[in-house]
Amino acid sequence: MLNTTRWPFPRVIAHRCGGTTAPENTLVALRLAATMGFGGVEFDVKLAKFGVPMLIHDDTVDRTTDGAGPVAAYDAAELRALDAGLWFGNEFAGERIPTFDAATALCHNLGLWANIEIKPDRDNAVETGRIVAGIAARLWHDDNPAPLLSSFSEAALAAARSAEPALPLALLVAEPPSDWIEGTRRLGCRALHCRQEYVTEQMVTAAHEAGLGILAYTVNDPQRAFALFGMGIDAIITDELGLVRPDQLAPMPGS
């Protein structure tokens, strides 16, 4: 049976708010995820100029907006003025980059839990970890379970833990290094998140024996999702919200 202390969170999670159904890291994507039956979402948080946290994945705005240049060169109002939907489809024209506060408010309204990925720039990992953790603790203070903060940046995770030690953390990796258990423990992490192609049954067993949860990303094939749950994986993140569905794939209690 799943140890609820180790993984008390949703087990099938929508990537970047709405996967491939809507422009990533937007409020419309959050609404679509909820409509499609997802109880948990993952999204990325970066700092705009003056330290305001915003939902965006890349270091620049070029790929997902009609603007250009580094995210950190824009203040929050300037980022909000950009179109973050038209690149994805004409029907999403006018969609904006949300603030972390706005996304959190909508998650609360929709009953969505969040895996918040801390996405620092190269020179602001400590600041980003500290600010995101502090705001997450304030905005989600009465939520059970609390949101999970994850990052590829060990410096950001260490800063988040120092700022808000009660918030659960997860270390993000692509291929896990040989000392991944020691690394997660050193950072005080609750879980390891890694690319799904590197997950093995032995790895899942080792994580559970160490008291750690383990999540696989990005799982877009239902058969692979079934196989991973068969290995005992705790959770998966998916882009394909219509194919990899929580109502079909979340293991039954006692499985």
What are the pLDDT digits (tens) for 20-43? Answer: 999 999 999 999 999 999 999 999
Say whether pLDDT at 47 is over 70: yes
Say whether pLDDT at 139 is over 50: yes
- pLDDT of 221-236, one tens digit each? 999 999 999 999 999 9
Kindly state the average pLDDT of the residues 69-93: 98
Q: Please state the pTM of the whole predicted model.
A: 0.95
Using only the alpha carbons of the chain, give its radius of gyration.
17
Q: What is the pLDDT of residue 253?
A: 42
State the catalytic residues: 15, 57
Counting residues of the chain whose pLDDT is more than 70, the rounded percentage is 96
Q: What is the pLDDT of residue 251?
A: 52
Q: What is the pLDDT of residue 249?
A: 75
Q: Which of 94-98, 129-133, 208-212, 244-248 has the lowest mean pLDDT?
A: 244-248
Q: What is the pLDDT of residue 165?
A: 97
Kindly state the average pLDDT of the residues 142-162: 96
DSSP string, the chain: ---TTT--S-SEEETTTTGGGSSTTSHHHHHHHHHTT-SEEEEEEEE-GGG-EEE--SSBSTTTSS--SBGGGS-HHHHHTS-SSTTT-GGGTT--PPBHHHHHHHHHHHT-EEEEEE---TT-HHHHHHHHHHHHHHHTTT-SSPPEEEES-HHHHHHHHHH-TTS-EEEE-SSPPTTHHHHHHHTT-SEEEEEGGG--HHHHHHHHHTT-EEEEE----HHHHHHHHHHT--EEEES-TTTS-HHHHSPPTT-
Q: What dotted CATH number matches 12-60+98-243? A: 3.20.20.190
- pLDDT of 51-74, one tens digit each? 999 999 999 999 999 999 999 999
Token readout for 188 is: 């005080």
Angle between helices 100-110 and 125-139 (to 10 degrees): 40
Kindly state the average pLDDT of the residues 115-129: 97
Q: What is the pLDDT of residue 6?
A: 74
